Amino acid sequence: MQVTLTKELEQYVKTKVKTGRYADESEVLRDALRALEQRDDYESPALEASLLEGLHSPHRPYNKATLERIRKNARLGR
């Protein structure tokens, strides 16, 4: 895989390596991707609100489509 960065991002990555916290540029990018993955997995307030609404609603069968609807609404900030 080849990744192209803007000059600013490239300098930012190099600065991170110079601090000594990272051994090389790849390690900086791996750490950034792990942080992105964690952010994506974080339960947003919209998702939490949807789940709480479901708890207080009349019982309906819960299936994969229900979860997908909840996730979609959370991504849209509903």
Q: How far apart are CA 21 and CA 72, in angstroms?
A: 37
Phi-psi region of 13 (alpha: psi -120 to 50; beta: other; left: phi over 0): alpha
Structure confidence at residue 43 (pLDDT):
64
Q: Which sequence spans correspond to the domains of the chain?
A: 7-41, 45-75
Task: Give this prediction's pTM.
Answer: 0.54
Digits of tens for pLDDT over the chain (78 positions)?
Answer: 888 999 999 999 999 999 999 999 999 999 999 998 887 767 677 777 888 888 888 877 778 888 888 888 888 876
Structure confidence at residue 59 (pLDDT):
75
**Tokens standing for residue 29:** 């990018």
